[in-house]
Copies of this chain bind each other. A is one copy, B any other.
Amino acid sequence: MSWNTFGRCLRVTTFGESHGPAIGAVVDGCPPGIPLSEADIQPWLDKRRPGQNRHMTQRREPDKVKILSGVFCDDIITGQVTTGTPIALLIENTDQRSKDYAAIRDRYRPGHADYTYEAKYGVRDYRGGGRASARETAMRVAAGAVARRIIPQVEIRAALVQMGPHGIERDNWSWAEVENNPFFCPDAKAARVWEDYLDGIRKSGDSVGAVVEVVASGAPAGWGAPLFARLDQDIAAALMSIPAAKGVEIGAGFAAAALKGSENADEMRIHDGQVHFTRNNSGGILGGISSGQDIIARMAVKPTSSILTPRRTITRGGEEVEIVTRGRHDPCVGIRAVPVAEAMVALVLADHYLMHRAQTGRG
């Protein structure tokens, strides 16, 4: 069933609410003998951490991760390594202002899970969004950091390629630039446009959507499996499981619908004895299995639903009211979705690496 568990061979279970004592994850199935300490995980969490600049929520979540199990240091030369047993990761919740949320106890925030959680469970922890809070994604980033250690041969990077109506110039793409601006934007020129745009959005008490692109380089041909453990299927599930995701595409994606077969075909050649594709419309996946090209996926993120602009809604009791969601919210939650998307793709790839090894004996 796996209500709150993701993965097949490498399995991640997350738990925790925004305003409970802690959030956590259990990573199960990790190979033994892999060097791993908090220092390998914390930098990825820091990248996702709120409050780093004015374009993010001003909440203060230090998000210090602790490893509770699954590692051992028997030898100070080798250092601490994974033991093959479950790796439990914990982050204690600290910056909780539950009083902020008392106002929304009885009013369903449009675009949020308030109404549907209550319809399903009859009870919900409304403080900070409870289980539906984006805070849970911190644990995915932590688990993703473990996944990266399993497949060091694969580099998994992501960038924001659209903010609201503003895209990027593909010719300007620079991975170095992604680290240089507050938007994970690969195009320096676009980043400047976005900065003004987002300031305007924030000041007007509104929010805006975005598109994230993930690129994984270094995976060999052969990962993935027909027909219900396809690599593209699992990436789609991984990205769509991120709160606020509304769409996923692989390679040419929706644009492929407008193409002819003769245009879409990634033709094959041999360069220097290696298989070479003339294009990558497939996004590195054919028949659900990796082709050895870069694996490319994009995710559409809807605008933050918590906005200062008043919206009409109803109460638990069925009364028609207006709501303004005060508090400290991201004007473009897509920005912070960038490290989360990376992490989810890392989890999928590490999982498929292990699955491929199970069935074929090869890595």
Contact = CB atoms under 8 A, between A and B. Distances in A.
A83 B130 CA distance: 10
B8 A1 contact: yes
B320 A270 contact: yes
Interface stretch (A51-59, A175-183, A204-212): A204-212
Contact of A361 (B225, B259, B363): B363
Contact of A125 (B20, B72, B220, B291): B72
Nearest to A92: B68
A289 B32 contact: no
A289 B356 CA distance: 23
Interface residues of A, number: 157
B3 A11 contact: yes
Nearest to A310: B262
A287 interface: yes
A20 B81 CA distance: 14
A117 B289 contact: yes
A144 B1 CA distance: 19
Contact of A111 (B69, B136, B226, B261): B261
Nearest to A29: B3
Interface stretch (A41-49, A187-195, A230-238): A230-238
A273 B206 CA distance: 31
A218 interface: no
A172 interface: no
Nearest to A136: B227
Interface in A300-324: 300-307, 309, 311-314, 318-320
A115 B26 contact: no
A256 B334 CA distance: 11
A252 interface: yes
Contact of A120 (B222, B266, B306): B222
Interface in A47-89: 66, 68-70, 72, 74, 81, 83-88
A121 B3 contact: no
A335 to B, nearest CB: 12
A266 B110 contact: yes
Interface in A1-60: 1-6, 8-9, 11, 13-17, 20-24, 26, 28-33
A275 B320 CA distance: 10
Contact of A68 (B24, B235, B281, B289): B24
A116 B251 contact: no
Interface in A82-122: 83-88, 105, 108, 110-113, 115-117, 119-122
A327 interface: no
A91 to B, nearest CB: 11
B33 A123 contact: yes
A254 B254 contact: yes
Contacts of A69: 15-17, 20-24, 131
A153 interface: no
